Amino acid sequence: MPGRNGVGRFVAVSIVAGVLASVAANRTAFAQAGSAGGTLGKQDKSQSGERQEATPAPAHTARPAPAKPAAATSQYVGCFRDQQSSNPFVATTQGRDVNGFITNDANMTSERCIAVCRKQGFAYAATQYATYCFCGSSYGHSGAANNCNMACGGNPAEMCGGGWANSVYSVGGPKPR
């Protein structure tokens, strides 16, 4: 059996010698383990001598996920009277109780109005007359109302103000009054 060990060693040495010769012939550069952007065991040239692009080693360090900002919570404030603007036929916020921004949407819901006002940077959102949304930094100058009883255009199970009445919500931002 000593003969077989000798042949096995000869074959192993021959394989190692062949690999080392191949490495030297192809001028393979091995990157130091752990170096940034290096390739470990990748060859610089192909067998035909053509240059090949090196593939960067994948990063193995896991990064923690960024912390999510706390979600702003909205809250129903109440039903408040609105007053007519100087021109009742023009949709404007001038003279209105919630007077920063206005939009009209046939699919209006309180959630949609709150999102619009939050995006615009206002502290309060108010739905009115089923499809209108008013945004502003204050509310309640004309007092409380009791007729916020119109179904929202986008959700009939929800109330979106009434005639000259605002269903007012805080959008989760600062609450000046």
Q: Does the pLDDT of residue 22 top 50, yes or no?
A: no
| Count: domains in the chain | 2
Q: Which residue has the tokens 């959008």?
A: 171
- Residue 150: the pLDDT is 98
3 state SS of 101? strand
Q: Does the pLDDT of residue 65 top 80, yes or no?
A: no
Report yes or no on 98 lying in a domain.
Answer: yes
pTM for this prediction: 0.57
For 162, the domain range is 75-170
Residues 166 and 95 occupy one common structural domain: yes
Contact 151, 101 (CB under 8 A): no
Cα separation of 71 and 124, whole Å? 16
Length of the chain: 177
Residues 13 and 94 occupy one common structural domain: no
Q: Does the pLDDT of residue 68 top 50, yes or no?
A: no
Residues 164 and 81 occupy one common structural domain: yes
- Residue 38: the pLDDT is 41
Model confidence pLDDT, tens digit, residues 112-171: 999 999 999 999 999 999 999 999 999 999 999 999 999 999 999 999 999 999 999 999
